[in-house]
């Protein structure tokens, strides 16, 4: 199923949807309470990707397909979490979300955007490489899987150009 997608900003009222999306994307998922706490933190902004089949009419209901959550603090930003449900992957939704986050944090004055990704998540690592992220560190045993296994997280960074035209 190929989908057309649009983004909308998410808020506290979207905590249940964001928690379900996160659980659908990650084994080491955040609870609704954790999601609420994150969204309530200063400098945090979130977006939900809504997708509808391309063959559906203009009035077709869009389905939550993915999300992104970022935080800006001074001249640094962090992509706290981003995910797309499996049935909507490889359709450009993650790129839309990542581009939205990058534009937002740059406009907010961030000069660097950081993120962490599981070392074994090759599709995500490829996406981040295409978008200019480079590895700056590792966090051993960062992610915990249901089977008790732990996975190293790679810390990635992207330098952001100054957006003088927005001032």
Per-residue pLDDT tens for 52-71? 876 555 556 789 999 999 99
Q: Report which DSSP code applies to 111.
A: S
pLDDT of residue 60: 64
**DSSP secondary structure letters along 59-94:** TPPPEEEEEEEEEEETTEEEEEEEEE-GGGTTSSHH
- In CATH, the number for domain 3-52+64-166 is 3.40.630.30
pTM exceeding 0.85 = yes
Numbers of helices and strands, H then E, in the chain: 4, 7
Domain ranges of the chain: 3-52+64-166
């Amino acid at each position: 199923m190929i989908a057309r997608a649009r983004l909308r900003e998410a808020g506290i009222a979207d905590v249940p949807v964001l928690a379900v999306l996160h659980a659908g994307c990650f084994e080491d998922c955040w609870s609704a309470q954790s999601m609420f706490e994150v969204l309530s933190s200063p400098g945090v902004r979130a977006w939900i990707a809504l997708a509808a089949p391309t063959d559906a009419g203009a009035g077709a209901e869009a389905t939550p397909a993915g999300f992104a959550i970022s935080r800006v603090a001074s001249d640094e930003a962090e992509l706290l979490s981003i995910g797309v449900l499996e049935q909507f992957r490889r359709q450009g939704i993650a790129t839309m979300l990542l581009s939205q986050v990058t534009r937002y944090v740059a406009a907010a004055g961030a000069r660097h955007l950081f993120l962490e990704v599981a070392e074994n998540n090759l599709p995500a690592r490829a996406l981040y490489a295409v978008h200019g992220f480079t590895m700056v560190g590792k966090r051993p045993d960062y992610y915990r899987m249901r089977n008790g296994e732990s996975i190293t997280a790679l810390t990635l960074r992207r330098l952001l150009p100054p957006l003088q035209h927005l001032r």
